[in-house]
Amino acid sequence: MQRKTPTKLPSRSVSGNVGSNRKRSSAGTNIKSSDGAGFLVKASDRAGVRQNKSATRRKSSSKVYEPDRRASFVIGVLGNQRVSNLLAVSKSQPGRWKSGSEVPSPVAARRLVDVDYVLARFLLLWDKSLAAEWLSAPNGFLDGATPFEVIMTKGSQEVIEALEAEASGAFA
């Protein structure tokens, strides 16, 4: 009778991969890099990495839509007072966005982008001296609402359609 030798099963790593005999310590987690070398990451380091990634995401997303440039453009056309009233923020916030010392909240950012887009389209057709008046006057293509009101409640799409209808010479 032949004696069987017990088969040693491979252990599982923290990530669940078979074949690794690394163990998790209370101080941190062993992580295997792509070249096969392992290293220890402390729990406190992992938390810092998560915070840094979210901060980087916020910074990179603000770089994409560049709130300082958008605020500068919108303030240049409408003035700081009108922009703060339109976006329902304090009088100093648009100036802080323009200087880059502050980033708009998600709601204010959406409105800032909408106003920026509407103004850019408006300026393709008419002079900037008419922008504030057009945005604050009741518009027949918007059922008597002002473009400002529509941007605040629904966004820019209907305002752009009204702008295009006026440009084409349609009648409301």
Q: Is residue 110 part of a domain?
A: yes
Domains in the chain: how many in total? Answer: 2
Please provide the average confidence, as pLDDT, over all residues in the chain: 76
pLDDT at residue 20, as a whole number: 46
Return d(Cα 36, Cα 133) in angstroms, integer: 66
Residue 158 to residues 28, 106, 114, 155, 164: CA-CA distances in angstroms? 54, 21, 11, 7, 10
For a pLDDT cut of 90, what percent of the chain falls above it?
A: 55
Does residue 16 fall inside a structural domain? no
Residue 78 lies in a domain: yes
79 and 26 in one domain? Answer: no
pTM: 0.62
Indicate the residue among 39, 65, 91 that finishes a domain: 65
42: containing domain? 22-65
Q: CA-based Rg of the chain, rounded to a whole angstrom?
A: 28
Angle 87-91-96 from CA coordinates, rounded to 5°: 90
Residue 7, in any domain of the structure: no
- The Cα 147–Cα 166 span in angstroms is 13
Question: Are 52 and 84 in a shared domain?
Answer: no
Mean pLDDT of 133-148: 94
**What are the backbone angles phi and psi of residue 141, rounded to the nearest 5°?**
-75, -15
In the predicted structure, residue 156 carries a pLDDT above the cut 50: yes
Residue 148 lies in a domain: yes
3-state secondary structure of 111: helix
Q: Are residues 127 and 87 in the same domain?
A: yes
Q: Tell whether the model's pLDDT for residue 153 goes beyond 70.
A: yes
Q: Once rounded to an integer, what is the mean pLDDT over residues 126-132?
A: 93
Ramachandran angles phi, psi of 36, nearest 5°: 95, -10
